[in-house]
């Protein structure tokens, strides 16, 4: 028999009884039953006035939840009683008592004494309570519980039941409950617990919610983090980096000041290693393998509903921008048809419009090659007329040219030759940013279709772009081989290497031989282009025809070999890197090479082509704008702002005003007559007559020597 405590204080000391029961449940069963009967009596009294707070009842609930696993037969109905209590009286219970009962249920669920669906559904219903701490506690419990349930294997039955229940909670009359339920779904998706299409489409229905908070949270889920949040996180990361540097500095200083021993050296190395591990752990970012926008069941219908809601939207301008951004991404990613979207966006395209850079970004995102050119052309002309004009500021012109470039990269048929040649005239504008924006537009059409440019702007064609044309609307090229395999001989596949070159899989950045000329494509001048065109026109016709016949024959043979390779081989990653390198080499090599030069190219299999980017950042539209030089008043304001929270210039003040000072400091505060007798303060009038005579004679001799030299 175990020794019982002296005085037998168990009926009043519940923590002690709880400890003893966990050690020996059979010996203290009688004391437990006494407390359970006490709980049953307290419950009946409490149900008569559920609004009153009872400390003894809270203690009994906590005690029984702690020892419930020891007496499962006696406490079989205990979880059901707590659930019924919360469902009937949750909104009128005292906040402390309600929190105690919820924590007891969470503890019982963690001990696997309650089915998860009962506790989880109740937790979602309790989001209606006006208790912020309770909602936070329930939120963390729901996320952790669902994550633990699906840790080893997916419980599809439970997940389906919960997702159906959450779908009803999103339409709940309580705004707080709907918003919190949506936060749970989003958090589970971000933690890669619920990452299926059903979860994404449940969130998609919340984008059409009449509640602003729910709507904004759902749209932000598809758009990702806001720019403000990124800036805030960047500032937080910079502050954390500063704190880590300070910690490292303190550790190093501590090791230098103290006596160097082996033990202290080991401690210092261990502290530095832990700081490095903490920094690596913090910088680890969770990544996902797919985007939520790709999992929407019917993106066309979803985009139409969003646009219909946008047309009747009376929310703030920021909420309208979020709608426009999401619709533009849906159109660009899924290549949807929403013709009314472009005239609606055209109304906002004005240089004085707030957030006009974002609006231009949304315009470029919503363009793709399947949209009829007649639908986008009026909007493009609006951008050209309102932004690209000499009466506007240089920054406005740069933004307009960059926006036109991004639109043409996705839908090149919207551009006509007359407008293109007018825009390319800004390549010699007085502002450098405008010149670079115009030249980037020229460079884009050199790669897509050189014939649309003026003859002097075409430049020297590369092997890949000399015969490239913009396909007509609806034209689809369906090659019978993997694109790029025609550039490599069949013997090089499977090995990932070529004769005389390194393995591209082993070294991504590599120097290769490409044909080049003296002038670069982007920075070449008009005279060089014209001289090249003249030289090209002076070639003999027979020689040109022979070259074309040879190249066409070679191309046909290469295409035939590429078809054989594509049908008989499985290409590896090294083969695709080799294809990528050859494609870059053909883009860099002019069609009429005059000399060879080594150029360094980077082979990256994950690199995206500029016109296939799904998401466009505003920085791509604003790119190239240099910061203006500040005037005198602005520079002075920056200097004064940097002097804030800083001591005045001069000697450093002591931390303790009662500390002693040096004699030199004391002399500065004394009267001059008290210190004039010191040698350092003697004047010339204190010299003797003999000293004055000697100084005068030396001065005369010095003057005589100067006169003699002249």
* pLDDT tens by residue, 573-592: 888 888 888 777 777 666 65
Cβ atoms 101, 89 nearer than 8 A: no
Cβ atoms 207, 215 nearer than 8 A: yes
Domain span at residue 326? 298-457
Task: Record the tokens describing residue 140, joined without a space.
Answer: 């963390």
514 strand-pairing partners: 597
Q: Which residue, chain included where needed, has tokens 């033990």?
A: 263
Same domain, 19 and 73: yes
Taking the CA atoms of the chain, what radius of gyration do you get in angstroms? Answer: 39
Same domain, 208 and 59: yes
Same domain, 339 and 309: yes
Give the span between the Cα atoms of 680 and 568, in whole angstroms.
99
Q: Identify the pLDDT of residue 409.
A: 92
Q: Residue 299: pLDDT above 70?
A: yes
CA 250 to chain centre: 32
| Average pLDDT for 459-483 | 78
Fill in the DSSP letter of residue 293: G
Instruction: Name the band, by pLDDT with cuts 50, 70 and 90, for residue 4.
Output: low
511 strand-pairing partners: 600
- pLDDT, tens digit (0-9, with 9 covering 90-100), for 70-121: 998 899 899 999 999 999 998 899 999 999 999 999 999 999 999 999 999 9
Same domain, 252 and 209: no
- Looking at 197, 219, 241, which one is the last position of a domain? 219
Same domain, 270 and 302: no
Same domain, 242 and 323: no
Count other C-beta atoms under 10 Å from residue 5's C-beta: 11
Domain count, the chain: 4
**Is 477 contained in some domain?**
no
515 strand-pairing partners: 596
Cβ atoms 190, 220 nearer than 8 A: no
**Is 391 contained in some domain?**
yes
Give the number of C-alpha atoms closer than 13 A to the C-alpha of residue 333, restricted to the C-beta side.
22
| Average pLDDT for 224-228 | 52
**Helix H or strand E segment including 594:** none
Same domain, 360 and 398: yes
Same domain, 309 and 255: no
Give the span between the Cα atoms of 7 and 504, in whole angstroms.
83
- pLDDT, tens digit (0-9, with 9 covering 90-100), for 333-349: 999 999 999 999 999 99
Provide CB contacts within 8 A for 547, sequence distance 6+: none
Give the span between the Cα atoms of 85 and 42, in whole angstroms.
13
Task: Record the tokens describing residue 362, joined without a space.
Answer: 């949304």
**Model pTM?**
0.70
Look at strands 509-516 and 595-602 and give their pairing. antiparallel
**Is 662 contained in some domain?**
no
**521-555 as b/e: b if 16+ CB within 10 A:** beebeeebbeebeeeeeeeeeeeeeeeeeeeeeee
Give the span between the Cα atoms of 209 and 103, in whole angstroms.
32
From 322, 341, 227, select the one nearest 618 (Cα to Cα): 227
Provide CB contacts within 8 A for 661, sequence distance 6+: 654
**Is 335 contained in some domain?**
yes
- Listed ranges 52-61, 233-242, 621-630; the one with the highest mean pLDDT: 52-61
Give the span between the Cα atoms of 108 and 112, in whole angstroms.
6
Supply the CATH number for residue 314's domain.
1.25.10
Give the span between the Cα atoms of 224 and 293, in whole angstroms.
11
Task: Give φ, ψ of 509 to 5 degrees.
Answer: -95, 120
- Looking at 571, 593, 615, which one is the last position of a domain? 593
Q: Residue 388: pLDDT above 90?
A: yes
**Is 653 contained in some domain?**
no
Same domain, 187 and 241: no
Cβ atoms 409, 470 nearer than 8 A: no
- Looking at 593, 608, 627, which one is the last position of a domain? 593
Q: Residue 438: pLDDT above 80?
A: yes
Give the N- to C-terminal CA distance of the chain in Å, as an integer.
Answer: 125
Distances (CA, A) of 115 to 62, 152, 167, 215: 20, 18, 21, 32
**Is 470 contained in some domain?**
no
Same domain, 326 and 450: yes
- Count each helix (H run) and each strand (E run) in the chain, helices first: 29, 2
Task: Record the tokens describing residue 42, joined without a space.
Answer: 């307290």
Percent of the chain with pLDDT over 70: 73
Task: Give φ, ψ of 339 to 5 degrees.
Answer: -70, -25
Three-state SS annotation for 45-69: HHHHCCCCCCHHHHHHHHHHHHCCC
Q: Identify the pLDDT of residue 285.
A: 45
Cβ atoms 327, 307 nearer than 8 A: yes
462 strand-pairing partners: 590
Q: Identify the burial level of 178 via C-beta atoms within 10 angstroms of its C-beta, where 0-12 means exposed, 13-18 middle and 19 or more buried.
A: buried
Q: Identify the pLDDT of residue 50.
A: 87
Task: Record the tokens describing residue 611, joined without a space.
Answer: 């016109």
Instruction: Name the band, by pLDDT with cuts 50, 70 and 90, for residue 368.
Output: very high
Q: Identify the burial level of 705 via C-beta atoms within 10 angstroms of its C-beta, where 0-12 means exposed, 13-18 middle and 19 or more buried.
A: exposed
Q: Which residue, chain included where needed, has tokens 């078809």?
A: 563
Give the span between the Cα atoms of 435 and 371, in whole angstroms.
30
- The two most distant CA atoms of the chain are separated, in Å, by 127
CA 315 to chain centre: 26
Cβ atoms 93, 136 nearer than 8 A: no
**Is 447 contained in some domain?**
yes
Give the number of C-alpha atoms closer than 13 A to the C-alpha of residue 641, restricted to the C-beta side.
6
Same domain, 428 and 497: no
Cβ atoms 172, 121 nearer than 8 A: no
Q: Identify the pLDDT of residue 381.
A: 94
**Mean pLDDT, the chain, whole residue set:** 79
Provide CB contacts within 8 A for 386, sequence distance 6+: 349, 350, 351, 400
Same domain, 162 and 95: yes
Task: Record the tokens describing residue 288, joined without a space.
Answer: 């996902």
Q: Which residue has the higher pLDDT, 468 or 633?
A: 633
> If DSSP codes are grouped into helix, strand and coil, which group holds residue 179?
helix
Give the number of C-alpha atoms closer than 13 A to the C-alpha of residue 477, restricted to the C-beta side.
9
**Is 47 contained in some domain?**
yes
């Amino acid at each position: 028999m175990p020794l019982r405590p002296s005085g037998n204080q168990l009926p009043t000391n519940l923590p002690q009884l709880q400890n003893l029961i966990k050690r020996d449940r059979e010996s203290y069963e009688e004391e437990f039953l006494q407390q359970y009967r006490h709980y049953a009596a307290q419950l009946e009294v409490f149900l008569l006035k559920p609004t009153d707070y009872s400390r003894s009842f809270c203690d009994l609930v906590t005690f029984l939840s702690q020892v419930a696993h020891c007496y499962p037969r006696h406490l079989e109905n205990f979880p059901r009683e707590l659930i019924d209590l919360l469902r009937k009286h949750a909104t009128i219970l005292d906040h402390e008592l309600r929190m105690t009962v919820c924590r007891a249920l969470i503890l019982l669920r963690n001990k696997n004494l309650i089915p998860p669906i009962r506790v989880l559904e109740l937790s979602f219903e309790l989001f209606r309570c006006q208790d912020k701490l309770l909602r936070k506690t329930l939120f963390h419990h729901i996320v952790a519980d669902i994550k633990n349930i699906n840790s080893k294997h997916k419980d599809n039955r439970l997940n389906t039941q919960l997702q159906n229940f959450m779908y009803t909670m999103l339409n709940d009359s309580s705004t707080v409950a709907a918003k919190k339920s949506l936060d749970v779904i989003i958090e589970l998706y971000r933690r890669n617990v619920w990452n299926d299409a059903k979860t994404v489409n449940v969130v998609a229905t919340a984008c059409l919610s009449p509640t602003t908070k729910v709507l904004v949270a759902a749209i932000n889920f598809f758009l990702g983090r806001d720019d403000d949040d990124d800036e805030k996180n960047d500032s937080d990361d910079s502050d954390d980096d500063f704190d880590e540097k300070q910690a490292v500095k303190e550790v190093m200083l501590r090791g230098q000041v103290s006596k160097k021993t082996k033990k202290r050296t080991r401690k210092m190395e261990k502290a530095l290693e832990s700081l490095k591990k903490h920094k690596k752990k913090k910088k680890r970012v969770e990544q996902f393998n797919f985007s939520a926008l790709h999992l929407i069941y019917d993106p066309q219908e979803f985009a139409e509903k969003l646009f219909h809601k946008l047309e009747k939207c009376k929310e703030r301008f920021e909420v309208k921008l979020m709608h426009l951004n999401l619709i533009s991404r849906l159109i660009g990613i899924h290549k949807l048809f929403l013709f009314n979207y472009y005239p609606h966006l055209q109304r906002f395209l004005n240089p004085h419009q707030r957030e006009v850079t974002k609006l231009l970004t949304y315009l470029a995102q919503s363009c793709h090659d399947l949209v009829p050119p007649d639908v986008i052309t009026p909007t493009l002309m609006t951008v050209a007329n309102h932004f690209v004009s000499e009466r506007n500021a240089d920054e406005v012109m740069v933004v307009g040219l960059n926006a036109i470039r991004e639109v043409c990269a996705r839908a090149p048929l919207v551009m006509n030759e007359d407008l293109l040649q007018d825009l390319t005239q800004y390549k010699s504008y007085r502002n450098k940013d405008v010149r670079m924006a115009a030249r980037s537009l020229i460079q884009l059409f050199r790669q897509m279709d050189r014939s649309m440019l003026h003859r002097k702007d075409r430049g020297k064609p590369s092997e890949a772009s000399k015969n490239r044309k913009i396909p007509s609307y609806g034209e689809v090229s369906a090659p019978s081989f993997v694109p790029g395999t025609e550039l490599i001989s069949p013997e090089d596949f499977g090995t990932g290497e070529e004769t005389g070159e390194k393995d591209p899989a082993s070294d991504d950045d590599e120097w290769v031989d490409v044909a080049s000329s003296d002038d670069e494509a982007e920075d070449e001048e008009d005279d060089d282009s014209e001289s090249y065109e003249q030289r090209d026109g002076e070639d003999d016709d027979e020689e040109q025809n022979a070259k074309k016949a040879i190249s066409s024959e070679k191309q046909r043979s290469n295409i035939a070999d590429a078809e054989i390779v594509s049908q008989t081989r499985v290409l590896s990653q090294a083969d695709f890197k080799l294809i990528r390198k050859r494609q870059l080499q053909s883009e860099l090599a002019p069609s009429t090479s005059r000399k060879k030069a080594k150029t360094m190219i980077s082979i990256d299999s994950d690199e995206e082509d500029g016109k296939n980017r799904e998401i466009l950042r505003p920085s791509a539209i604003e790119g190239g704008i240099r910061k203006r030089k500040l005037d005198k008043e602005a520079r002075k304001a920056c200097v004064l702002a940097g002097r804030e929270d800083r001591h005045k210039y001069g000697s450093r003040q002591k931390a303790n005003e009662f500390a002693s000072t040096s004699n030199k400091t004391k002399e500065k505060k004394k009267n001059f007559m008290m210190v004039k007798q010191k040698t350092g303060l003697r004047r010339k009038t204190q010299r003797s007559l003999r000293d004055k005579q000697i100084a005068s004679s030396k001065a005369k001799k010095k003057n005589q020597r100067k006169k003699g030299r002249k």
